[in-house]
């Protein structure tokens, strides 16, 4: 009789858990703890003065609005890309699938330089856009383009495996009962992939909030116009104003954490709703 395969392939729960916790503490918790201690040590009046300054408020407006618009683009295009890669077979499909992960592998500074070149007056895109009064470089549109480029893989890679595992028998049954293609998508497919879709969009939004390398080359970095929070943090660090940098970083961290927390709760509720249905 064959011996049942053990689930515990790695030696010892204590050892594996200890190594994991040590790594998380060293790489994530300690840096975050140092930032939180720096914020806690400045007092609330000083903290509020920093995060509510006119320059900081303008940076929030540019960063959050750009990230939201980029996430809307990524939600639509990312869903379509995941659908095409999952449901169709065509020449070049593997190449397209590999290109989706390119923003993960490409240094963000290189992405920024590429985008600046493409949208310049003599660039492939800019030579057609700028004569028609559409300027991308050194505007908020450039920030949105950079954020979209660097964060779209999150939506595709979140939705794609769910679409691949989806039981196509449910679609066939619905069509047999008289449902059209739109009804099949809206009532069967989309509710099933919705938690993954929301998760991908939120990860895309959080990634856009913290983007720096790609944006700094294309934005122009004008205070109050095209200056993002990440750049303002960098400027405060160059000024040796560590308290100011920590306070601004705390705002970004809090927004990203609360967004992820709310999305996880929504995804859990959606999963339970689909299971009950």
The predicted pLDDT at position 272 comes to 72
- In this predicted structure, the answer to whether residue 122 has a pLDDT above a threshold of 70 is yes
Residue 155's contacts (CB-CB under 8 Å, 6 or more residues apart) are 74, 75, 77, 78, 79, 82, 197, 200, 201, 203, 204
pLDDT band at 276 (very low <50, low <70, confident <90, very high): low
Per the domain annotation, does 181 fall within a domain?
yes
Summary mean pLDDT of the chain: 86
Better pLDDT: 72 or 2:
72
Task: Give the mean model confidence (pLDDT) for residues 123-139.
Answer: 89
Task: Give the mean model confidence (pLDDT) for residues 100-118.
Answer: 88
- In this predicted structure, the answer to whether residue 275 has a pLDDT above a threshold of 60 is yes
**pLDDT tens by residue, 44-101:** 889 999 999 999 999 999 999 999 999 999 999 999 999 999 988 989 899 999 999 9
Per the domain annotation, does 27 fall within a domain?
no
The predicted pLDDT at position 3 comes to 54
Better pLDDT: 73 or 224:
73
Per the domain annotation, does 104 fall within a domain?
yes
Residue 142's contacts (CB-CB under 8 Å, 6 or more residues apart) are 115, 116, 119, 136, 215, 218, 219, 220, 226
Better pLDDT: 232 or 181:
232
Better pLDDT: 177 or 95:
95
Per the domain annotation, does 16 fall within a domain?
no
- In this predicted structure, the answer to whether residue 6 has a pLDDT above a threshold of 60 is no
pLDDT band at 2 (very low <50, low <70, confident <90, very high): low
User: Which of 50, 29, 52 minimizes the C-alpha distance to 243?
Assistant: 50
The predicted pLDDT at position 258 comes to 87
The predicted pLDDT at position 49 comes to 92
Question: What is the residue range of 136's domain?
Answer: 46-276
CB 264 within 8 A of CB 196: no
- In this predicted structure, the answer to whether residue 180 has a pLDDT above a threshold of 70 is yes
**pLDDT tens by residue, 144-176:** 999 999 999 999 999 999 898 887 777 778 777
CB 150 within 8 A of CB 204: no
For residue 80, what is the domain's CATH number? Answer: 1.10.3720.10
Question: What DSSP element (H or E) covers 243?
Answer: helix 242-276
Residue 80's contacts (CB-CB under 8 Å, 6 or more residues apart) are none
Q: Say how far apart CA 120 and CA 117 lie, in whole Å.
A: 5
Task: Give the dihedral sign, CA 78/84/85/90.
Answer: negative
User: Which of 79, 71, 81 minimizes the C-alpha distance to 201?
Assistant: 71
Q: Say how far apart CA 23 and CA 13 lie, in whole Å.
A: 15
Per the domain annotation, does 180 fall within a domain?
yes
- In this predicted structure, the answer to whether residue 106 has a pLDDT above a threshold of 60 is yes
Q: Tokens 């983007």: give the residue.
A: 211
CB 74 within 8 A of CB 152: yes
Instruction: Report pTM.
Output: 0.85
Q: Look up residue 2 and give its DSSP letter.
A: P
Per the domain annotation, does 220 fall within a domain?
yes
CB 202 within 8 A of CB 260: yes
Better pLDDT: 17 or 150:
150
Q: Say how far apart CA 96 and CA 88 lie, in whole Å.
A: 12
Q: Say how far apart CA 134 and CA 272 lie, in whole Å.
A: 46
Structural domains counted in the chain = 1
Q: Residue 274's Cα: distance from chain center in Å? A: 25
Per the domain annotation, does 19 fall within a domain?
no
Query: What is the number of alpha carbons within 13 Å of residue 29 lying toward its C-beta?
Result: 7
Q: Say how far apart CA 40 and CA 187 lie, in whole Å.
A: 49
pLDDT band at 4 (very low <50, low <70, confident <90, very high): low
Query: What is the number of alpha carbons within 13 Å of residue 109 lying toward its C-beta?
Result: 0
Q: Look up residue 186 and give its DSSP letter.
A: I
């Amino acid at each position: 009789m064959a011996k049942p395969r053990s689930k515990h392939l790695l030696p010892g729960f204590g050892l594996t858990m200890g190594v994991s916790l040590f790594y998380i503490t060293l790489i994530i918790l300690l840096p975050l703890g140092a930032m939180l201690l720096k914020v806690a040590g400045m007092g609330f009046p000083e903290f509020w003065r920093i995060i509510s300054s006119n320059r900081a408020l303008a940076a929030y407006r540019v960063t959050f609005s750009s990230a939201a618009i980029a996430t809307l683009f990524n939600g639509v295009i990312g869903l379509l890309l995941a659908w095409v890669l999952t449901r169709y077979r065509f020449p070049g499909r593997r190449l397209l699938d590999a290109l989706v992960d390119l923003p993960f592998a490409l240094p963000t500074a290189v992405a920024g330089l590429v985008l600046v070149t493409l949208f310049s007056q003599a660039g492939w895109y800019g030579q057609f856009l700028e004569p028609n009064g559409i300027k991308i470089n050194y505007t908020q549109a450039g920030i949105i383009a950079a954020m979209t480029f660097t964060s779209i893989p999150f939506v595709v890679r979140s939705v794609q495996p769910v679409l691949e595992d989806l039981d196509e028998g449910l679609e066939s049954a619905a069509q047999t009962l008289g449902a059209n293609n739109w009804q099949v998508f809206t009532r069967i497919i989309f509710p099933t992939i919705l938690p993954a879709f929301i998760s991908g969009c939120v990860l895309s939004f959080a990634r856009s909030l913290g983007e720096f390398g790609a944006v700094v080359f294309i934005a122009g970095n004008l205070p109050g116009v095209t200056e993002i929070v990440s750049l303002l943090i960098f400027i405060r660090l160059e000024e040796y104003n560590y308290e100011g940098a920590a306070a601004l970083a705390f705002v970004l961290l809090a927004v990203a954490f609360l967004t992820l927390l709310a999305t996880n709760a929504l995804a859990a509720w959606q999963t339970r709703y689909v299971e009950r249905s």
